[in-house]
């Protein structure tokens, strides 16, 4: 499994940088995009940039590969997934609050 998804010495580094730090950034970015009522595809554009930042952190702090298309794709796929989850949960809350009367039992007040 090592080498297919991550190239670092330990899986913990991959979890720390990509899943924890990058995932937290992706989650709050997805929420911020949803709060400003931007379209869903905007999340993907921002996560492509965040994927570059995550690759740089791997390179700068843990001597990982900077210009590796495979590892960039893996990191970015994880970030896009987490970013879209943050977007979806926030958008669901927004729609329920804004248009709650449409789903309320008994119809419109």
pLDDT in tens, 25-67: 999 999 999 999 999 999 999 999 999 999 999 999 988 888 8
Which helix (H) or strand (E) segment holds residue 19: the answer is: none
| DSSP 8-state secondary structure symbol assigned to residue 2 | T
Token duo for residue 80: 């896009």
pLDDT in tens, 23-32: 999 999 999 9
Evaluate if residue 107 carries a pLDDT over 90: no
- Greater confidence, 103 or 66? 66
* pTM for the model: 0.86
Mean pLDDT of 73-94: 96
């Amino acid at each position: 499994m090592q080498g297919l998804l991550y190239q670092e010495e330990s899986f913990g580094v991959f979890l720390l940088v990509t899943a924890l730090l990058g995932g937290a950034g992706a989650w709050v970015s997805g929420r911020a995009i949803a709060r400003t009522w931007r379209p869903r595809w905007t999340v993907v554009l921002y996560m492509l940039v965040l994927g570059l930042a995550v690759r740089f952190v791997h390179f700068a702090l843990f001597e990982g590969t900077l210009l590796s298309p495979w590892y960039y794709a893996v990191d970015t796929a994880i970030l896009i997934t987490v970013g879209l989850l943050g977007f979806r949960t926030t958008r669901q809350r927004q729609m329920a609050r804004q248009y709650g009367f449409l789903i309320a039992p008994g119809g419109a007040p």
